[in-house]
Amino acid sequence: MPFAHITGWGMYVPEPVLTNDDISKMVDTNDEWIRDRTGIRERHIARENEFPSTLAVEAAIKALQVANLAPTELDLIICATSSPEYIFPATACLIQDQIGASKAGAFDLLAACSGFIFATNMAAQAIRSGSIKNALVIGTETLSRFVNWKDRNTCILFGDGAGAFVLQASEIPGGILSAVMHSDGSGADSLTLPGGGSHHPATELTLHEGKHFVQMDGKEVFRFATRVMGRASIEALESAGLTTADVQWIIPHQANLRIIETAAKYLKMPIEKFVINVQNYGNTSTASIPIATVEAAQKGQLKIGDKIVFVGFGAGLTWGAMVVQWTGPIPAKKLVHPEQYRRFARLRSFARRMLRFIEGLLSRKEI
């Protein structure tokens, strides 16, 4: 049975930064309160012309560059997102088209902030089963579009960004060692974006009632998160036949520094073993774990052979953890340039649109 290795990683955040002081000019809050209660100092916010696919494409190309893999070699793209570009088509399909992943199947996965762990596990299982060789997993968000900038309970928390992993099959043991995924729909109300779906399709009333904004019972989510983070990590470690003593790094979902500190206490692990960057990005939902991983990799913190636990929680409610043995890129003989496929992808996309247009004209004549 092949192993599923993380061979590439990339991240992208939009340039504009929104500080706590900036937010304090919009709602009744202040830098000290936000830092004390969440650890967040600033977050990045997408420009008007940036979308989840825009951010994802940048992160994906970087991940493919690290893996030295051409987009045309990808068999599967899973995009985990809580702020999809549309209800349909899937954001993953927009990414597939823009990077030129001509043979990849692409779909979105919705498990909120746990989505990146769920998606990585799904891609790893597809590789382990032998049905595919190369997968791209992306977490991408422009949650700033769904935040009520008049609600101080939520608008201080979220930020925009994207992170991506390339997963590849290899006979060498390592890579994704175990994963656990959990859900509890009885907590669906605690964190929700109720408007715009089939239950509350957009109307003047839903707009008026603020149903198209993120709604959250912060205390409830906080209690849930502190309960599940440690437990899920232990469960995933046990499933891999490991203990916390074997672990070099924990990379948690970056929602709130206090939640991470509680998990560290539960696991009896020093906080220094936790990769933390919530201060710079806020909660980027599905993108937070890959962004934290990329930063740690770029700083040289992750060494080949390190055992890493990814752990997250989010709306649903959902939560999960994954144990990974860090491997790094598969050594390559020939250098490929994934970024160069973008131009080809644009041409390909245009040609396919034209073809469909001409087909439409011809079929009309036939009728």
Q: Is 83 in the site for ligand UT7 (CB under 6 A)?
A: no
Cβ atoms within 10 Å of 201's Cβ, excluding its own: 9
By CB under 6 A, name the one of 256, 284, 286, 327 that touches ligand UT7. 256
User: Distance between CA atoms of 311 and 264, rounded to whole angstroms?
Assistant: 12
Angle at 40 between CA 37 and CA 42, to 5 degrees: 145
User: Distance between CA atoms of 145 and 212, rounded to whole angstroms?
Assistant: 10
11-30: contacts with ligand UT7 (CB under 6 A) = 29
Q: Is 33 in the site for ligand UT7 (CB under 6 A)?
A: yes
Which of these segments, 33-41, 160-168, 264-272, 274-282, binds ligand UT7 (CB under 6 A)?
A: 33-41
By CB under 6 A, name the one of 98, 283, 293, 318 that touches ligand UT7. 283
User: Distance between CA atoms of 82 and 60, rounded to whole angstroms?
Assistant: 18
* Pair of tokens at residue 236: 């995933």
Q: Is 152 in the site for ligand UT7 (CB under 6 A)?
A: yes
Which of these segments, 123-131, 205-213, 216-224, 346-354, binds ligand UT7 (CB under 6 A)?
A: 216-224
Q: Is 229 in the site for ligand UT7 (CB under 6 A)?
A: no
E strand or H helix at 238? helix 218-239
By CB under 6 A, name the one of 218, 227, 244, 348 that touches ligand UT7. 218
Whole-number minimum distance, CB 151 to ligand UT7, in Å?
A: 9
* Pair of tokens at residue 204: 């003047």
Q: Is 41 in the site for ligand UT7 (CB under 6 A)?
A: no
By CB under 6 A, name the one of 9, 222, 281, 310 that touches ligand UT7. 222
Q: Which residue has the tokens 């791209």?
A: 136
Q: Is 223 in the site for ligand UT7 (CB under 6 A)?
A: no
Whole-number minimum distance, CB 115 to ligand UT7, in Å?
A: 10
Residue 68: which residues within 8 A CB-CB, separation 6 or more?
8, 329, 330, 332, 335, 336
Whole-number minimum distance, CB 229 to ligand UT7, in Å?
A: 11
By CB under 6 A, name the one of 314, 316, 320, 338 that touches ligand UT7. 314
CB 201 within 8 A of CB 32: no
Residue 329: which residues within 8 A CB-CB, separation 6 or more?
7, 8, 66, 67, 68
- 283 given a catalytic annotation: yes
Nearer to ligand UT7, 252 or 338 (CB): 252
Angle between helices 91-99 and 52-67 (to 10 degrees): 50
Positive or negative CA dihedral for 108, 158, 155, 48?
Answer: negative
CB 309 within 8 A of CB 237: yes
Number of residues that bind ligand UT7 (CB under 6 A): 19
From the candidates 79, 93, 113, 155, which is the catalytic residue? Answer: 113
102-131: contacts with ligand UT7 (CB under 6 A) = 113
What type of residue sits at position 205? L
Nearer to ligand UT7, 13 or 257 (CB): 257
- 79 given a catalytic annotation: no
- Tell me the three state secondary structure of residue 137: strand
324-363: contacts with ligand UT7 (CB under 6 A) = none
User: Distance between CA atoms of 367 and 364, rounded to whole angstroms?
Assistant: 5
- 93 given a catalytic annotation: no
Whole-number minimum distance, CB 7 to ligand UT7, in Å?
A: 28
Give CA torsion, residues 11, 225, 196, 204, to 10 deg: -120
Q: Which residues bind ligand UT7 (CB under 6 A)?
A: 29, 33, 37-38, 113, 152-153, 156, 191, 216, 218-219, 221-222, 225, 255-256, 283, 314
Catalytic site residues? 113, 253, 283
